[in-house]
């Protein structure tokens, strides 16, 4: 399936209602408004195709960029490739759900995420904390340094409320993810989340979100999901 065929199929799957929802969350034209689940049949036909993924991502079309992440080959992408994709990720649904979902299946995920956390750039920082969430929620605990993640919990505690808005949200999710999916630091993550308390995330032209990682952790424990790991990150 070539580039033009994929674009035609994506356009045919577009829905006005979905398009409006994406725009309300920060997406910009061009986009078709394709539900992510509707992309799966096309993805099954293509499987992995990095050259096609690059063509699609370069369009700037939100739906094409999202689909690019589904068919990309993470292990074929270098640090400069991921940085280039991040440069094109103009809002969080691309940075946190396309670029770093792809990055999380690569061997350089933690190293690059560490660089982005230190960057000072809102979306790179948000993407990096989100990347750790995808990693911790999928990979075995032994693949992570307990000391490193412990320091990261301290970093969240000390800086979350002064961080950029999207970064706040990703950091809050990090507290929750460590608390549920990384058993060696479950107790510290829960304690840290309780100390952080409610985090207000301001949104353009919308009411603020009020996040509470501690409450979310307790709810998941009550549901018997302590130690939960997802089988797959990408669709």
Omega cis (within 30) before 30: yes
How confident is residue 235, by pLDDT bands cut at 50, 70 and 90?
low
Q: How far apart are CA 37 and CA 132, in angstroms?
A: 24
- Report the pLDDT averaged over residues 121-139: 97
179-223 pLDDT tens trace: 999 999 999 999 999 999 999 999 887 899 999 999 999 999 999
With contact defined as beta carbons under 8 Å apart, do 179 and 186 qualify? yes
Q: Under DSSP, is residue 17 helix (H, G, I), strand (E, B) or coil?
A: helix
Q: How far apart are CA 199 and CA 55, in angstroms?
A: 39
The three-state secondary structure class of 142 is helix
The pLDDT score that the predictor gives to residue 6 is 98
Q: What does the pLDDT average to over 9-35?
A: 97
User: DSSP letters of 191-219?
Assistant: HHHHHH--EEEEETTEEEEEE-HHHHHHH
pLDDT in tens, 132-166: 999 999 999 999 999 999 999 999 999 999 999 99
| Domain boundary assignment for the chain | 109-235
Mean pLDDT over residues 110-115, rounded? 98
Q: What is the pLDDT of residue 47?
A: 95
Could you identify the residue written with the tokens 């408004």? 33
pLDDT at 233 over 90: no
**Residue 46's pLDDT is what?**
97
Six-digit token string for 213: 């990682």
- 202 vs 199: CA distance, rounded Å: 10
Whether the Cβ atoms of residue 135 and residue 109 lie closer than 8 Å to each other: yes
* pLDDT for the residue 102: 97
pLDDT tens for 39-93 read: 999 999 999 999 999 999 999 999 999 999 999 999 999 999 999 999 999 999 9
């Amino acid at each position: 399936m070539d580039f033009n065929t994929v674009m035609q199929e994506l356009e045919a799957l577009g829905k006005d209602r979905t398009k409006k929802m994406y725009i309300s969350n920060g997406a910009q034209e061009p986009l078709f408004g394709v539900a992510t689940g509707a992309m799966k049949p096309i993805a099954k036909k293509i499987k992995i195709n990095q050259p096609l993924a690059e063509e699609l991502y370069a369009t700037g079309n939100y739906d094409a960029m999202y689909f690019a992440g589904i068919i990309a080959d993470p292990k074929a992408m270098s640090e400069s490739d991921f940085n280039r994709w991040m440069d094109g990720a103009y809002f969080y649904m691309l940075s946190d759900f396309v670029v770093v979902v792809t990055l999380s299946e690569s061997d350089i995920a933690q190293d690059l995420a560490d660089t982005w956390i230190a960057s000072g750039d809102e979306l790179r920082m948000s993407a990096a904390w989100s990347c750790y969430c995808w990693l911790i929620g999928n990979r075995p605990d032994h693949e992570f340094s307990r000391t490193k993640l412990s320091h990261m919990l301290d970093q969240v505690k000390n800086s979350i409320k002064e961080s950029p808005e999207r970064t706040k949200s990703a950091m809050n999710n990090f507290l929750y993810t460590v608390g549920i999916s990384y058993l060696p630091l479950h107790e510290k993550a829960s304690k840290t989340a309780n100390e952080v308390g409610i985090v207000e995330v301001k949104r353009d032209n919308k009411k603020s979100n009020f996040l509470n990682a501690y409450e979310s952790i307790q709810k998941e424990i009550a549901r018997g999901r302590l130690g939960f790991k997802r089988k797959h990150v990408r669709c």
